[in-house]
Amino acid sequence: MSQRHFSLLDRLCMGADTALRTITPGAAKAFRHNPADTASEGISETSRQHTAGLMRINHTGEVCAQALYQGQAATAKLVEVRESMNQAAEEEIDHLAWCEQRVRQLGSRPSLLNPAFYGLSFTIGALAGIAGDKYSLGFVAATEQQVCKHLSDHLKQLDDDDHKSRAILEQMLIDEGEHATSALEAGGIDFPQPVKKLMSLTAKVMTATTYRI
């Protein structure tokens, strides 16, 4: 059923359901198969803890992405923009589930700070939606570009034989790049470098805290 048939109350209820499924460990279910399922396990014991920290960062990043998209969808002016946000959020659920599965496989857990980051990101997304669809879409593009940089950096830090983590991050990199391109093509503005720099500094706070907590 199209999003346009849902009332505001319906959307709020669905948003609450999405929030609970996002921040509750093990609740997110992927639509696509996990690319790590067909990859061999080759990570060394000395790298396991570091890789778990990297995957925990990526998992929290997907929690933030869910919140951003839900916040923007709640305040988007145009129905087609709202629906595109919801579609992107569904695709990000795959990443959320894959990252959590990998974190568990590495003997660790998701970040304890996820609920706080979800709330903050939802608020930012809602404000971006209120500012206007071109700014909302531009924020999506800038955010996904930042995510791509993090993923590329994390790929360089993985063990050469860690095929499972690599398979997940490589697919995420493809998907995030497509989301950034789609947002700009849909009318999003390309944010100036000072704004992107500020977003990058904010992202560093998230990565520094969730690596260990």
All structural domains of the chain with their residue ranges: 60-210
User: For residue 138, what are its two tokens?
Assistant: 């531009």
Residue 144, annotated as binding a ligand: yes
The pLDDT of residue 103 is: 92
CA-angle at 79, arms to 77 and 80, nearest 5°: 115
The pLDDT of residue 170 is: 92
CATH of domain 60-210: 1.20.1260.10
The pLDDT of residue 121 is: 83
The pLDDT of residue 2 is: 42
Residue 179, annotated as binding a ligand: yes
The pLDDT of residue 183 is: 79
Q: In this structure, what is the dihedral angle of CA atoms 2, 94, 117, 207, given to the nearest 10 degrees? A: -150
Residue 80, annotated as binding a ligand: no
- Could you report the per-residue pLDDT of 34-71, keeping only the tens digit for each? 988 888 887 878 888 899 999 999 999 888 888 887 77
Query: Which residues, given as ranges, of the chain have pLDDT below 50?
Result: 1-3
Residue 83, annotated as binding a ligand: no
